[in-house]
Amino acid sequence: MSSEMINLPATTGAAQLSGTPNPGEPANDPLDPPIATESDIWTFNPLTLELTASWTNPDGSRSPVTIFFDQDPDFGNVGITGDLADVIGASQASLAQSRAPPVSPSAVPIRLFYVNIDPEVCASVIA
């Protein structure tokens, strides 16, 4: 595995839905939505080495999002949301009603930074 960052072609604009959901499911099923194409959500700051994300709206305007970590592996560990406090509130309400929550109430915001580190060093730390 290389620790070098590489340039990829940029995508522009808002994500567009393409394809169709499972024909046996309703068209608006959140667990089986149409496929969304990539969008240019990521921004890398070369001065701070921080990687941030924002939602690109259909009109091209951008809204900041929160990258979060959820220690419960049932929720995928890392996610992105527009308002983490609202998502956690919805999770707590779901749990109170014995429904499956969107994330665990212990999800916390995180910041991502690029660190150029030797993969051998990572392997020895993990081992």
Asked whether residue 57 is domain-assigned, the answer is no
Question: Please, which pLDDT band fits residue 69 given cuts at 50, 70 and 90?
Answer: very high
Output the pLDDT for position 97. 86
* 95 within some domain: yes
Name the DSSP letter for residue 28. T
d(CA 66, CA 80): 6
Tokens describing residue 20 = 């169709």
User: Which two tokens mark 120?
Assistant: 């051998």
H/E stretch holding 54 reads: strand 50-56
pLDDT at 109 over 90: yes
Task: State the first-to-last Cα distance of the chain, in angstroms, to the nearest integer.
Answer: 16
pLDDT of residue 66: 93
The answer as to whether 58 is a domain residue is: no
Alpha-carbon distances of 106 from 21, 64, 73, 78, 95, rounded to whole Å: 31, 21, 12, 12, 13
Domain of 93? 65-126
Name the residue with tokens 């969304």: 36
Per the domain annotation, does 21 fall within a domain? no
CA 92 to chain CA centroid, Å, is: 21
Kindly state the average pLDDT of the residues 91-106. 84
Q: What pLDDT, in 10s, does the model give residues 77-96?
A: 888 888 899 988 888 888 88
Total domains present in the chain: 1
Using alpha carbons only, give the angle 81, 69, 109 rounded to the nearest 5 degrees: 65
Model confidence at 43, pLDDT cuts 50, 70, 90, reads confident
